Structure 1
Amino acid sequence: MKFKLPQQKLLARLKISRFISVKSRYLLMLFSIAILCILVIGYTGWFNAYNALTESSYNQLTSIRAARAQQIENFFKDKKAHLRILSGNLMFIEALEEFSAAYDLLTLYQQVPDEKQLNELKSFYAEKFYPKLKANGTKLKALQHFYPKSGTAKYLQYHYIVANPSNIGEKHLLDKAPDQSYYSEVHARFHPPLRLLVEQAALHDLFLIDKERGDIVYSVSKEVDFSTNLLSGPYAQSSLAKAVRTIMKNPELGRVIIQDFKFYDASYGRPATFMAVPVYNKQTYIGIIAIQLPVAQINSIMTRYQQWVQDGLGESGEVYLVGSDFTMRSDSRFLIEDAEGYLETLEKAEVAEESLQRIKSLNTSILNQQIKTVSAHLALVDGKTGHQTIHNEQGVELLSAYAPLNINNLRWIILAEKKLAEVNKPIVTLQYAMITATVILVLITGVLSLIFASRFLKPIDDITQIATQFIAGHKVSIIKIESGDEIGLLKNTVKKLIDHSQQQREKIKAQAQENQALMLNFLPSSVVGKLQACEKKIVSKHPNVAIMFTSLHGFGNVINEMSGETAVKKLNKLFQSFDVLANQHDIERLTIIGDSYIAACGLNKPRLDYAARCTDFAKELFEIVALFNQEEGLELKLHIGISAGEVISGIIGDERYAYSVWGDVVSIASRIRYDAKPNGLRVNQPVYNQLRNTDDFEKCELLSLIGIGNLGIWEYTYRPFMSQQITNAFQSHEP
């Protein structure tokens, strides 16, 4: 069974095809084939490049992660080995025995600070230690909790911390306190080499701890944990105390205990991690050595001394550590590079305000920023190693390589991550290159096709464009006839048609301009515009209009004494002067009937001062008539009437137009003109009320008009002053 298209659909397709030119069909076919080939080849290349680049990025991240993991594991192994070496070093053995004995002597002889020294110790805690600890956002215990408990601890802290002239953070510079004690003698002997060792090993601190009581008998940095008891003192719950208790329970030779990061109050609330090892003198257990590991050194390993770009991590990659509580164990790259932007990002991710405050005050993300991504869960909970694309807490898509670490009893993982957007930058560049190449190929194909097709179809295109411009009303250029074939005949025919039509169009345009100029002589421009727009009913109501009527007294005698042509010429000169002055005052001349000049203000152009403006114009007309009389040797006098109020204007007639104004205002103005004295101006009450200066006006008797009622009338009598403005208006129309 053959499938047949419905007749209507077939007809519709045939109609559409009639509007598609042969040139368009040819170009469409060629373009379709070219574009299809380019897209297939381009997509194949892009797909392979994308997979290769993504795999390369994963391999690079995996390689960086493995290298950092090896480095951080080696770091802890080195510290562990170093600590074992120290535990067997004769100097450390002797130092531990000497400091323990010196500490016991202070306890035995009950060396305690006097009352003044004790007050200074309390002041140090209240004014220097506690405020700084509080500023770092730590959940604080009471101030009294941090005071050393034993008299020996108070004594040593006073002489080596409070009375120490060095600033906080530099208390390790003091070699010997001036208290003349045996402890100070021991301290002066062992402290310089121990301090040098800590500096060279880049440790934060080193502790010597009593084997039975848990007293810190010596520390290099002299923070407030110095000389305190780790079993019952202020820092009994710290990571250091936990490591010491573990050793005391099982002081196995060479056993190194590592404690994870915790906020450490003695270091002003900063995160701290510790290592501890028992010390033996031959076979006798004599005490414990502990070290506080340097956070800066861990960060240096993870950032490769902040060489992220050189290491292949670009602008957004980082490698960092995460602990068993899913918080960071090394500082974020973005905190190091841009702390303000980093905090703003965490704030948008709705990180707890307490964590944000600690990050800001301590300038570290260790223990403060949680990492609960898929890759962190896979490495920390499932113990897996691998890589995949994930989203972080801010919703940013990342490439993430993850693995658990092998560091004694620490459950840490390492993550190497980079924004997918940055990884895809080369792919985006490749996309742009392929798009550019595609566009270029399409353009080349199109240009070559158009060159051949356009040469044949160009004459027809030219005729089409010229005809289109002509239809749009533009003046077209002359069509050049270069051939005698059918196209040449077509050009010739179109040329004759367009030339004839353009001549007719110019004639119509000239006639229209002439008609418009003629209409503007007796109609307002707004009315002319409406007539040209083919409006049939042109009627408007105007609420605030001043109408002025004038008449010339004595002009009849002038007509009788001279020829009609001369009289009209002189009257034309006078009224042209009126028109010039009317334009200056924004007055509209409505019509001229005989020797009467009728004008309005506020009719087609509303004015707030329509009546006052019309009155000023009328006063200056007296000046024009006076100047005209002086030049012509005549004795004409002007009667003027002005009335203000609401009028109606409109066009009368269908074939022959007449613009007129109706209303009581018109009747009043015409009437009071005749009542005015020669060279007199009469106005009704609305006009008078608008005048700024009424000193020259006198009140007349009430005027009674049928259908209107009694009217208040005021009259102004002209007194010549001949202003320069009037002279200019009159002289502008002299022959």
Structure 2
Amino acid sequence: MSDGTAERTNEARGRRWRGRVGLSIQSKLLIMLLAVSLASSVIVGTIGFLNGRQSLHDSAIDQLITIRSMRAAEITTALDAVKRDASLHSRNLSAQALSTSINEGFAELQQEEPEPEDRAALETYYSDVFIPELEGRTGDSYGDEAFIPDSVAGQHLQAHFTTQNQDFDADYDTLLDDNDPGDGSSYAAASEQYGDYFSRLVREAGYEDALLMNLDGDIVFSAYKGVELGSNLMSGPYRETALASAYAEAIATNSVSTVVLTDFERWIPSLNVPTMWVISPVGNDSRITGAMAFQVSIDTINALTTGDEGWKEQGLGDTGEVYLVGRDDLMRSSSRILIEDPEVYEKRAVNGGIAPSIVKRAVEVDGTVLLQPVDTQAVEDAQAGESGTTTGRDYLGGDSVTAYAPLEVEGLDWVIIARIDSAEAFAPVSEFTRTVLLSLLGILLGVSLLSLLLAQVFTRPVHRLVGAVHRVAAGDLDVQVPQGSRDEFGDLGHAFNDMASSLRIKQELIDEQQVENEKLLHTLMPESVAAKYKKGDEAISEAHENVSVVFAELIGFDDYARGLSPEQEISHLNTLMRGFDEAAEKAGVEKVRTLRGGYLASSGLVVPRVDNVRRSVDFARNLLGVVERFNAQNGTSIGLRAGVDSGTVTSGLVARTTLAYDLWGDAVNLAYRVRSVTGDPGVYVSQTVYDRTREIFTYSEAGTVEAHGGTETVWKVA
């Protein structure tokens, strides 16, 4: 009987013996350990997950709903108060007297002959001051005379008031107190007498501006005397604004009880800053004489949504916020992320799919009103009149828990959103889960220790295996142990015999692997060098003819790396080097070595190639593409200079203990020198490379270098 047949017979016989035994020791231990582990898991899991996890989850949701409801109530109350105050101010006797007197004064100015110097002053002001400032802040173009009022009175008032504002950041307070145009008119007398009423309203009530209109739609008075002063809302440049529509709606009611609140719109007189208006007719129960419009600032709304930026104090933690969204899916308040860290906002917004131009503008103006789109499911449901909560993508593409609802404010089609990052919202749940898991691990550890103690009882049969193990350690792989008992220890003896057989097989595999290692060594260096290395030669080198060398150097990476952590620096450098390796593989070029800021490669060294020069130039050009893609992905401006030469080189092993295969010679030196002939990024080649590839690539002369005892022209690849 052959050895293989005998082995199979013994194996079958062993299976029959093992089949006769009852419940094995392994099975008994396994049942005991599983019983303890499962019982512990069921107890801890039932108590922990059923009674704790859901409660913590619901608590986080309920807290967010409460914050949303409280903030919605505060916003509603505040906007109702704004509307109520506007109604009271418009019925005030001072407002009525101001309206009557200013309307009469404006009408008198309207009857006067136009003054050419007024028109000339306005044309100069708009072309030299206001329009350049407006275009600089909006990026749009406007005509120099687009905002000059048509009326004589309007031009007169702007010439005496508005043109005084030459610095939009410094002159506003001066204009607020300057109510006398100095022309001796009845308008001047009324403005001087009652203008302080408007000034106090703006300062004490916190409005951005306050306007007074007559029944014809003329803006007859402005607290800040901006470019809207004197314009007509029905026919002038602001006729298509929300202010004009709200004015027409308020006047049409002919009631001083009417109050109209507008949504945010970009208000050109405020240099395109988003603005809300609250408008109420001026007069009494007998008649109205015009309307007052109060400009509500973005800061007023932001103070309500952010709680004066007290997010943490109000239970929103490190990432939570409340914001408003209009029917057009654009924010009506500012993002907390932008307020706290514009750089983080910019990065997350761009990564979240927001157009870079929008993100850049939001960062420039330090606000997201009418800029940041919010196209989430929560907004869609809230706009449909629903209230609720959801977990999913937020407006910057992150994962958030969101509570949403419509905002019940008459005249505004807004929704209110309260959100917090899911990781922070459910942090207590995660912490609790971690505690439960640690408890389970503790139980498993206890079970393991108990198992170790019990295992001592069953270790005696193992001792007979020790001697056999020592023989195997001494190199006797033919050792076999007798299989005595018919339980797991018998199986252990059988397994040991299998192991010995396996070791023999593995030794054979090791011998085969040595052959494979030999082949691998030849892929790292030429066969002749590998043969010398295995012999133990100390100085190993070979000369090679007709080899092309590429020496590439990164430009500006050190400056860019100064702002990075060591981990980020090596990560970005690895990205570039991987790209270089891929380009080398595609071009059929062999990498010689990688430097921190450079890359040395050759063509025709290991594998002789007829077109090694063309391949090297192609590879160098591809490196420029790798760097350009890296710059586009990371917003950097790193450059690359590459030099290419062809000729005789010497290769060999340097620093034998680290097995570094290197390349040197005239071709390497010249490739290194031509790459920096101008200092500019690009691919530079020697005269030799130019002569062999000028029919393939387009070159321009870049300079000269000293080489081979003379001057050699360096060419740059176009």
For normalisation by structure 2, the TM-score amounts to 0.60
Write the mapping of 1:398-413 to structure 2, written as runs, cut at 5 A. Answer: 398-413=400-415
Residues 1:17 and 1:428: Cα distance change in structure 2 (over 3 Å): farther
1:304 positional shift: 0.8
Distance in 1 separating the partners of 2:124 and 2:438: 74
1:11 positional shift: 7.5
Residue 95 of structure 2 aligns with which residue? Answer: 92
1:393 positional shift: 4.9
Pick one of 212, 224, 228 that aligns with 2:227: 224
Distance in 2 separating the partners of 1:241 and 1:274: 10
1:83 positional shift: 1.0
Residue 210 of structure 1 aligns with which residue? Answer: 214
Q: Deviations over 1:517-559 (max 9, x none)?
A: xxxxxxxxxxxxx9xxxxxxxxxxx999xxxxxxxxxxxxxxx
- What letter is aligned with 2:469? T
Residue 108 of structure 1 aligns with which residue? Answer: 111
Residues 1:285 and 1:176: Cα distance change in structure 2 (over 3 Å): closer
Q: Deviations over 1:110-139 (max 9, x none)?
A: 36361xx64443343234322332233365
1:195 positional shift: 1.5
Residue 314 of structure 2 aligns with which residue? Answer: 311
Distance in 2 separating the partners of 1:70 and 1:390: 25
- Is the contact between residue 279 and residue 288 of structure 1 (CA under 8 Å) also seen in structure 2? yes
Residue 264 of structure 1 aligns with which residue? Answer: 267
1:79 positional shift: 0.9
Q: Deviations over 1:467-503 (max 9, x none)?
A: 63563249xxxxxxxxxxxxxxxxxxxxxxxxxxxxx
Distance in 1 separating the partners of 2:336 and 2:535: 77
Distance in 2 separating the partners of 1:321 and 1:430: 33
Residues 1:138 and 1:447: Cα distance change in structure 2 (over 3 Å): same
Residues 1:172 and 1:446: Cα distance change in structure 2 (over 3 Å): same
1:34 positional shift: 2.1
Residue 144 of structure 1 aligns with which residue? Answer: 145
Write the mapping of 1:451-600 to structure 2, written as runs, cut at 5 A. Answer: 451-454=453-456, 456-457=457-458, 468=469, 471-473=472-474
1:141 positional shift: 4.2
Residue 37 of structure 2 aligns with which residue? Answer: 35
Residue 65 of structure 1 aligns with which residue? Answer: 68
- Is the contact between residue 172 and residue 220 of structure 1 (CA under 8 Å) also seen in structure 2? no
- What letter is aligned with 1:362? V
Distance in 1 separating the partners of 2:71 and 2:13: 71
Q: Deviations over 1:124-158 (max 9, x none)?
A: 32343223322333654434322333332222223
- What letter is aligned with 1:430? F
Residue 424 of structure 2 aligns with which residue? Answer: 422
Residue 671 of structure 1 aligns with which residue? Answer: none
Distance in 1 separating the partners of 2:467 and 2:291: 103
1:256 positional shift: 0.7
Secondary structure of the corresponding residue to residue 292 of structure 1? strand
Residues 1:340 and 1:608: Cα distance change in structure 2 (over 3 Å): closer
User: Which range moved further: 297-306 or 308-317?
Assistant: 308-317
Secondary structure of the corresponding residue to residue 76 of structure 2? helix
Q: Deviations over 1:255-279 (max 9, x none)?
A: 1111111111111111111111111
Distance in 2 separating the partners of 1:78 and 1:155: 36
Identical positions, percent: 27
Residue 197 of structure 1 aligns with which residue? Answer: 201
Distance in 2 separating the partners of 1:84 and 1:606: 98
1:78 positional shift: 0.5
Secondary structure of the corresponding residue to residue 225 of structure 2? coil
- Is the contact between residue 152 and residue 227 of structure 1 (CA under 8 Å) also seen in structure 2? yes
1:384 positional shift: 1.6
- What letter is aligned with 2:438? T
- Is the contact between residue 148 and residue 233 of structure 1 (CA under 8 Å) also seen in structure 2? yes
1:333 positional shift: 1.4
- What letter is aligned with 1:407? V
Residue 609 of structure 2 aligns with which residue? Answer: none
- What letter is aligned with 1:28? L
1:245 positional shift: 1.5
Residue 122 of structure 1 aligns with which residue? Answer: 123
1:290 positional shift: 0.8
Residue 161 of structure 2 aligns with which residue? Answer: 160
Residues 1:203 and 1:378: Cα distance change in structure 2 (over 3 Å): same
Residue 181 of structure 1 aligns with which residue? Answer: 184
- Is the contact between residue 113 and residue 155 of structure 1 (CA under 8 Å) also seen in structure 2? no
Distance in 1 separating the partners of 2:306 and 2:248: 34
Q: Deviations over 1:350-401 (max 9, x none)?
A: 32455334423332211212222222122212x1222233433554333222
1:461 positional shift: 5.8
Residue 443 of structure 1 aligns with which residue? Answer: 445
1:75 positional shift: 1.2
- What letter is aligned with 1:189? Q
Q: How big is the alpha-carbon RMSD for the aligned residues of Structure 1 and Structure 2?
A: 3.7
- Is the contact between residue 123 and residue 145 of structure 2 (CA under 8 Å) also seen in structure 1? no
Residue 300 of structure 2 aligns with which residue? Answer: 297
Residue 618 of structure 2 aligns with which residue? Answer: none
1:463 positional shift: 6.9
Q: Deviations over 1:226-262 (max 9, x none)?
A: 2211111111111111111212323223111111111
Larger Rg: 1
- Is the contact between residue 266 and residue 275 of structure 2 (CA under 8 Å) also seen in structure 1? yes
Residue 680 of structure 2 aligns with which residue? Answer: none
Secondary structure of the corresponding residue to residue 403 of structure 1? strand
- Is the contact between residue 103 and residue 214 of structure 2 (CA under 8 Å) also seen in structure 1? yes
Q: Structure 1: give runs of 5+ residues left out of the alignment.
A: 1-7, 475-529, 531-541, 545-601, 611-735
Pick one of 347, 351, 354 that aligns with 2:350: 347
- What letter is aligned with 2:189? E
1:31 positional shift: 2.3
1:452 positional shift: 4.3
